[in-house]
Amino acid sequence: MELMGVVVVVLASVLVLCYSSVLEAQLQVGFYKSTCPQAESIIASEVRRALASNIGLAAGLVRMHFHDCFVRGCDGSVLIDSSSNNTAEKDSFINNPSLRGFEVIDNAKTRLEAACQGVVSCADILALAARDSVVMTGGVMYQVPAGRRDGRVSLVSEVLASLPGPTFDVDQLTRSFASKGLTQDEMVTLSGAHTIGRSHCAAFSSRLFDFNSTDGHDPSLDSAYASQLKQQCPQGSNDTSLVAFMDPRSPYTLDTAYYANLLQNRGLFASDQALATDSTTAGLVKQNAAAGGGIAWKRKFAAAMVKMGQIDVLTGSDGEIRSRCRVIN
């Protein structure tokens, strides 16, 4: 009986330790309240300053957070520069030149290191900067649980297999998001981020010229819209700087126009348009398009961003707090 009692006490102690570790590992709203109380205001001010000169960076920062979380989790690995012996995520053909806003993260990090050296992670800066970008383009304010640590690995070889592609069908998209713990509803909600920002022509030009239709474009693409895009992205052009807005109606405002565009066959990517034509997601597209001012969708979007921001995070003693976001310590 004494032995049994000892075993029970030991097991109880182990359970308490495990429970404490879980609590310690959880992200928390207000994580920097005592260690760097000005952290969130510093980040917001840098985002505000950047967007004042280039509002398009808002979409860049949201996209960067998404690309960070879907590759290795939300660990800031997308921020790491390539070196002589390693090509990093940011230099994948998918991310370069489409990702932008790295200088915003750098500027925020410089100020944070001056105010609270070695405290605020680059992964948290990116998550908070994405939130601020959402708010500053018309989204609702939401709290971001923080406490992420920075990863030490960034591999170009992991990008293609980790990110959903612009030609994916709904089944492929659903599997991609499900592998990150996100539902199909959250997938459709997060896809609404395409209501802001732009895309390089190379990501969708095959929809304009490579089909055996009368005009050569994807028959699921509205003809007038296709003609407009062909003017912006001429066939055979080698100009890699050519871009088109994801949502020409309101390219700098986070709203539900993206879903209305899909119902009019004006989705830029094949993966966008597939959401409106596949029976498993078409109802969600219609529901979001009919959301009026979009406040219900904006709240759903905020909740989905919070959930996405917790994919495979490093916490506690894992990872590190980088001194510079572009380089591991």
Out of 65, 67, 194, 217, the active site residue is 67
| Contact partners, residue 118, CB within 8 Å, separation at least 6 | 321, 323
Q: Is 323 helix (H, G, I), strand (E, B) or coil?
A: coil
Q: How many residues does the chain have?
A: 329
The 3-state DSSP class for residue 172 equals: helix
Bond prior to 164 in cis (omega within 30° of 0): no
Q: Which two tokens stand for residue 186?
A: 């959250």
Active site residue 67: yes
Is the torsion defined by CA of 251, 255, 258, 264 positive or negative? negative
* SS3 state at 240: coil
Q: What residues does 244 pair with on adjacent strands? A: 199
Structure tokens at 113: 């290191």
Q: Residue 244: enclosing H or E segment and its boundaries?
A: strand 243-245
Contacts with 70 (C-beta within 8 Å, 6 or more apart), sequence order: 162, 163, 164, 176, 180, 311
Catalytic center residues: 67
